[in-house]
């Protein structure tokens, strides 16, 4: 473990009120068709800082495609360009295998959490992290770029990703 400790990646939506109201109206209509639980889940996903391909993947899930629980594979890299919603992969992956996290709903049934420890066999300045739907290829759900965590062979970093799905809107 490096001395800085675990890196916590937590969704903190920052959306203007007009956008919330517009999406809420659309989700209310969707809620009557799909059921209120589905509408509440979609509401949070829309407000999360996620990629375009991640949102498209989630829409397919509601249509009977893949599973939301697929977003459990952590990867890291050394890219330094700011993350964008158009990202589909890490900028510069380390080349290590992605690690499946331990999934849970800590303290609440409306919180999804996945925790994974990534180990390194070479020296890197880790500056980016991503959550994917598969151990190879797959869809990038969330991509973060941050200040460097320097690691050497034998070091590891524990990444915690957590998102809350509130009900009732805001």
pLDDT tens digits for 26-68? 544 444 444 433 333 322 223 335 677 877 777 777 677 667 7
Report pLDDT digits (tens) over 92-145.
999 999 999 999 888 877 788 889 999 999 999 999 999 999 999 999 999 999
Distances (CA, A) of 158 to 3, 45, 64, 101: 11, 24, 32, 10
Decide if 52 contacts 85 (C-beta within 8 A).
yes
What is the distance between the alpha carbons of residues 151 and 157, in angstroms, rounded to a whole number? 9
Higher-confidence residue of 5 and 71: namely: 71
Across 57-101, the runs of DSSP E, i.e. the strands, are 73-77, 99-100
| Residue 10 token pair | 């937590």
Give the tens place of pLDDT for each residue, 131-169: 999 999 999 999 999 889 999 999 999 999 888 777 776
Spatial CA neighbour of 142 closest among 36, 54, 30: 54
Q: How far is CA 59 from CA 62, 63, 64, 111, 134, in A?
A: 5, 6, 9, 19, 17
Residue 14 pLDDT = 45
Residue 169 has a pLDDT of: 60
Separation in Å, CA 94 to CA 6, 98, 158: 18, 10, 15
């Amino acid at each position: 473990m490096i001395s800085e400790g675990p890196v916590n990646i937590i969704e903190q939506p920052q959306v203007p009120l007009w956008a919330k109201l517009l999406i809420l109206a659309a989700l209310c209509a969707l809620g009557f068709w799909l059921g209120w639980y589905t509408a509440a889940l979609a509401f949070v996903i829309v407000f999360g800082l996620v990629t375009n391909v991640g949102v498209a993947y989630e829409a397919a899930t509601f249509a009977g495609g893949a599973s939301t629980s697929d977003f459990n594979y952590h990867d890291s890299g050394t890219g330094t360009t700011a993350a964008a919603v158009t990202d589909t992969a890490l900028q510069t992956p380390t080349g290590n295998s992605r690690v499946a996290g331990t999934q849970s709903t800590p303290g609440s049934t409306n919180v999804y959490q996945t925790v994974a420890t990534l180990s390194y066999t070479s020296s890197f300045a880790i500056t980016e992290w991503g959550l994917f739907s598969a151990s190879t290829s797959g869809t990038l759900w969330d991509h973060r770029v941050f200040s460097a965590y320097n690691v050497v062979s034998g070091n590891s970093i524990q990444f915690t990703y957590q998102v809350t799905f509130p009900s009732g809107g805001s």
